[in-house]
Amino acid sequence: YPELVDKIRARQINIGSLRSSYDYIIVGGGQSGLVIANRLSEDSTKNVLVVEYGYVDNNPSQLEPSSATSYPSRDLFNVTTVPQTGIGGKRVSIYAASVVGGGSTVNGMLFDRGAAEDYDNWAALGNPGWDFAGLLPYFKKSTTFGTPDPAIVQEYGITWEPSAYGNGPIQVTFPSWQWPTIKVQWKAWNEVGVPTMRDGENGNAYNAYWVPNNVDAQSRRSYAKNRYFDTVSSRSNLHLLTGYRVNDIQFSSAKKAESVRIQQRGTPNGGSTTTIRANQEIVLCAGWLNTPAVLQRSGIGPQDLLSRANIPVVVDLPGVGSNLQDHPATQINFQYTRDLQPNQASLYTNQTFQAWAQQQWQQFRKGPMSMLVGNALATLPLPTMLSTYQSLISRVNSQNAAQYLPSTYSAASIRGYEAQRRVLMASYASLKNGIVEIPFSGGGGTSLVHEKPLSRGTVLINPSDKWADPIVDYNTSINPIDNEIFVAMIKFYRRWMQAPSMQQLGPQEQSPGASLTTDQQLINYATQGMISSTAHSCGTSAMMPQDQGGVVSSQLLVYGVTGLSVGDISIIPLIPATHTCATVYAIAEKAADLIKARAGNNPTTSSTTSVRTTTSTTRTTTPVTTPTTTGSGGTQSKWGQCGGIGWTGPTACVSGSTCQSLNPYYSQCL
């Protein structure tokens, strides 16, 4: 493993080896940023710089299935929302990665796509080429399906559609284990009118279907860093600079994006910065939280916000930071009084089973411990769940759209929302599009997830401190119809638990509890336990027409300037009914093709630039002082932190490992 670490370190550059200019500068080396970097650097005459705020996380545990359910705080931004008045005024956690590979490095590895209608809706909002047919080649280009263990396929009747996959970097398959109770659950779905689909990845992600994970045959995480970045380490035209924040973008008088200003992480705001020029294009891939913030700090955003923050306006683009969407969720729990054996609890309660599971894992990387977060979803159309769905749709249509939107929304953003509502209501009435998601893997408890909320939020820089983390407000459940969807979900889940097949398990409702029956009681229950985000935040630099609050065109170019595009999750106009990782790969693959195509039409002189140019041409930088570490004594275990700025824990490593500095902020026992 240390050899691998050395290899990874060798291909990163430090500030001293930066060129003064690159053909492409990618802001953010997260999931989408690494995909785009890989594709743009395929042309050896183009040089590409990725600037990433986070670092490489080389902890091997991050590749293991267990990492799907424990998100390491070291790799995440530490931000909470403003009080969410629609769910009792609580502040909720947000999920935004800050590590090389971004969300793909830390996420739950449930790897699904939305229904065809989800993407057709994007095209209907004024984005030709972004329908499912336009995206399918990119879903395929990014993935390869690995045939799972035939025994588990046969035992559980797992189905998938091979033609939905291609020959791409991300490995996708099913683990070698499922819990027996899931067989009963599949039957029960059918009994309450939810058919089983052969596959969700081919545009049919509605009703109930199996969902694979993005893991290789050894159940190891297959993600942007190891499949899109590490694999092209020999390319000298691709540079990655970690531990630096892109503060803002600078424009020429003709509003061409010319350069980025970067600053070392942890140095005081307003301190020294380095400017790097982009000959061809700057591509924002800083994610839903920071892409709008970088735009706003660069003078592209709502005019009144910019002037309150003392930022000169380059383009008054009110949609920047609006249109925030995620999938809010609440919990439901039933206990089986006659559960099948083994079940999930057996891993804790049955020592023989536990020992067998350990042995299966350690010897063969198979068995219960190869499982991640589960592999089955019921993504239910509204008419399946609610017989009075038409009345709900009429009530949505008769709402004054502005009433529930944030007060900061411009007339253009309100128009855009009305356009979204038109396509959304068609989806609410459709039998080929899910409105809610109920994950199931055998147990009686799960999350109830709203896939198509009407409420919208904002991500705005703090006008009194533009360097602070952006202010996030999801406005969760501000629109009362969103709560009606939760009530319908709870009632339908109860119906599922009452299905004939389920009775062999003896399900007993724990929460909300059978005594809660009125809609208001269920709303109170749902909102009390509700979270605003299931880590699928998106939409904050939306691909919509400019006069409808859009930020980028269907070419992903930012309105009002040239040489600047967005290639990450923030371009999503309308949240799809799916976990977002696979969709982000498709967006980024398509973005790379769009960028290449326009470069082809407009060649630059960059091909003549020497790749070897280094520091002397880099604009001013203040030398970075080497940080010191004050240790508290004691010995750190292998893989643990042993130094870095601000570290006060042990600096000595357990025998067999040595403390190695990976960056100024993190040394590790390796």
Ligand X SMILES: Cc1cc2nc3c(=O)[nH]c(=O)nc-3n(C[C@H](O)[C@H](O)[C@H](O)COP(=O)(O)OP(=O)(O)OC[C@H]3O[C@@H](n4cnc5c(N)ncnc54)[C@H](O)[C@@H]3O)c2cc1C
Active site residues: 536, 579
**C-alpha to C-alpha distances, 150 to 7, 108, 220, 616, nearest whole angstrom:** 36, 24, 19, 59
Q: Rule CB under 6 A: is residue 107 a binding residue for ligand X?
A: yes
Selected binder of ligand X within 171, 580, 609, 667 (CB under 6 A) = 580
Selected binder of ligand X within 8, 26, 27, 405 (CB under 6 A) = 27
- State the minimum distance, in angstroms, from the CB of residue 175 to ligand X: 14
Q: Rule CB under 6 A: is residue 109 a binding residue for ligand X?
A: yes
Name residues contacting ligand X, limited to 258-317 (CB under 6 A). 285-287, 290, 294
Q: Rule CB under 6 A: is residue 223 a binding residue for ligand X?
A: no
DSSP assignments along 535-579, one per residue: S--B-TT-BS-GGGT-SB-TT-BBTTSBSEEE-SGGG-SS--SS-
Name residues contacting ligand X, limited to 53-82 (CB under 6 A). 53-54, 71
Selected binder of ligand X within 25, 106, 115, 423 (CB under 6 A) = 106
**C-alpha to C-alpha distances, 397 to 391, 392, 413, 450, 501, nearest whole angstrom:** 10, 9, 17, 19, 39
State the CB neighbour count (10 A cutoff) for residue 292: 32
Name residues contacting ligand X, limited to 441-480 (CB under 6 A). none
- State the minimum distance, in angstroms, from the CB of residue 131 to ligand X: 20
Best CA proximity match to 113, nearest among 209, 172, 201? 201
Compute CA 218 distance to the chain's CA centroid, rounded to the nearest angstrom.
Answer: 24
- The backbone region for 442, taken as left when phi is positive above 0, alpha when psi lies in -120 to 50, beta otherwise, is left
Q: Rule CB under 6 A: is residue 52 a binding residue for ligand X?
A: yes
Choices 25-33, 137-145, 193-201, 633-641 (CB under 6 A): range interacting with ligand X:
25-33
CB 276 within 8 A of CB 247: no
Choices 114-122, 140-148, 266-274, 576-584 (CB under 6 A): range interacting with ligand X:
576-584
Choices 23-31, 59-67, 337-345, 381-389 (CB under 6 A): range interacting with ligand X:
23-31
Peptide bond between residue 180 and the one before it cis (omega within 30 degrees of 0): no
- State the minimum distance, in angstroms, from the CB of residue 536 to ligand X: 6
Choices 80-88, 338-346, 399-407, 579-587 (CB under 6 A): range interacting with ligand X:
579-587
The CA dihedral of 546, 551, 555, 557, to the nearest 10 degrees, is: 110
Task: State the helix-helix crossing angle for 116-124 and 132-141, rounded to 10 degrees.
Answer: 120
- State the minimum distance, in angstroms, from the CB of residue 75 to ligand X: 8
- State the minimum distance, in angstroms, from the CB of residue 154 to ligand X: 26
Which residue, 346 or 537, is less far from ligand X as judged by CB? 537
Compute CA 477 distance to the chain's CA centroid, rounded to the nearest angstrom.
Answer: 21
- State the minimum distance, in angstroms, from the CB of residue 71 to ligand X: 4
**C-alpha to C-alpha distances, 318 to 253, 548, 552, 559, 638, nearest whole angstrom:** 21, 10, 12, 11, 49
Q: Rule CB under 6 A: is residue 28 a binding residue for ligand X?
A: yes
Choices 21-29, 37-45, 173-181, 361-369 (CB under 6 A): range interacting with ligand X:
21-29
The enclosing H or E element of 405 equals: none
Q: Rule CB under 6 A: is residue 585 a binding residue for ligand X?
A: no
* Cα gap 248→325, rounded to integer Å: 24
Best CA proximity match to 485, nearest among 328, 602, 641, 618? 328
- 99 assigned ligand-binding residue: yes
Choices 29-37, 197-205, 341-349, 459-467 (CB under 6 A): range interacting with ligand X:
29-37
- State the minimum distance, in angstroms, from the CB of residue 227 to ligand X: 13
Q: Rule CB under 6 A: is residue 51 a binding residue for ligand X?
A: yes
Name residues contacting ligand X, limited to 605-664 (CB under 6 A). none
Choices 48-56, 125-133, 249-257, 633-641 (CB under 6 A): range interacting with ligand X:
48-56
Which residue, 47 or 570, is less far from ligand X as judged by CB? 570
Selected binder of ligand X within 569, 574, 595, 653 (CB under 6 A) = 569
Quote the radius of gyration of the chain (alpha carbons, Å): 25
The CA dihedral of 615, 618, 622, 627, to the nearest 10 degrees, is: -50
- State the minimum distance, in angstroms, from the CB of residue 534 to ligand X: 8
Q: Which string of x and - marks every residue 226-265 that binds ligand X (by CB under 6 A)?
A: -------------------xx-------------------
Best CA proximity match to 233, nearest among 27, 56, 24, 32? 56
CB 455 within 8 A of CB 402: no
- State the minimum distance, in angstroms, from the CB of residue 36 to ligand X: 9
What letter represents residue 78's amino acid? Answer: N
Best CA proximity match to 486, nearest among 524, 430, 446? 524
Which residue, 441 or 651, is less far from ligand X as judged by CB? 441
Q: Rule CB under 6 A: is residue 381 a binding residue for ligand X?
A: no
Show the tokens assigned to 452. Answer: 């198509």
Which residue, 197 or 205, is less far from ligand X as judged by CB? 205
Q: Rule CB under 6 A: is residue 535 a binding residue for ligand X?
A: yes
Task: Give residues with Cβ within 8 angstroms of 16, minimum separation 6.
Answer: 614, 615, 618
Selected binder of ligand X within 22, 30, 342, 461 (CB under 6 A) = 30
Selected binder of ligand X within 8, 18, 24, 32 (CB under 6 A) = 32
Burial class (CB in 10 A: 0-12, 13-18, 19+), 248: buried
Which residue, 580 or 636, is less far from ligand X as judged by CB? 580
- State the minimum distance, in angstroms, from the CB of residue 425 to ligand X: 26
Q: Rule CB under 6 A: is residue 110 a binding residue for ligand X?
A: yes
Choices 17-25, 31-39, 170-178, 338-346 (CB under 6 A): range interacting with ligand X:
31-39
Which residue, 284 or 544, is less far from ligand X as judged by CB? 284
Which residue, 330 or 636, is less far from ligand X as judged by CB? 330
CB 204 within 8 A of CB 195: no
Size of the site for ligand X (CB under 6 A): 42
Best CA proximity match to 96, nearest among 104, 86, 88? 104
Question: Quick check: helix, strand or coil at residue 278?
Answer: strand
Which residue, 342 or 374, is less far from ligand X as judged by CB? 374
- State the minimum distance, in angstroms, from the CB of residue 297 to ligand X: 9
Which residue, 104 or 280, is less far from ligand X as judged by CB? 104
Q: Which string of x and - marks every residue 85-104 that binds ligand X (by CB under 6 A)?
A: ----------xxxxx--xxx
CB 566 within 8 A of CB 554: no
Q: Rule CB under 6 A: is residue 138 a binding residue for ligand X?
A: no
To which residue do tokens 């977002």 refer? 580
Question: Quick check: helix, strand or coil at residue 391?
Answer: helix
Q: Rule CB under 6 A: is residue 212 a binding residue for ligand X?
A: no
* Cα gap 7→514, rounded to integer Å: 58
Q: Which residue of the chain is nearest ligand X when measured via CB?
A: 30
Best CA proximity match to 105, nearest among 168, 54, 30, 171? 30
Q: Which residues bind ligand X (CB under 6 A)?
A: 27-33, 51-54, 71, 95-99, 102-104, 106-111, 245-246, 285-287, 290, 294, 535-536, 568-569, 579-582, 584
The binding site for FAD consists of: 99, 246
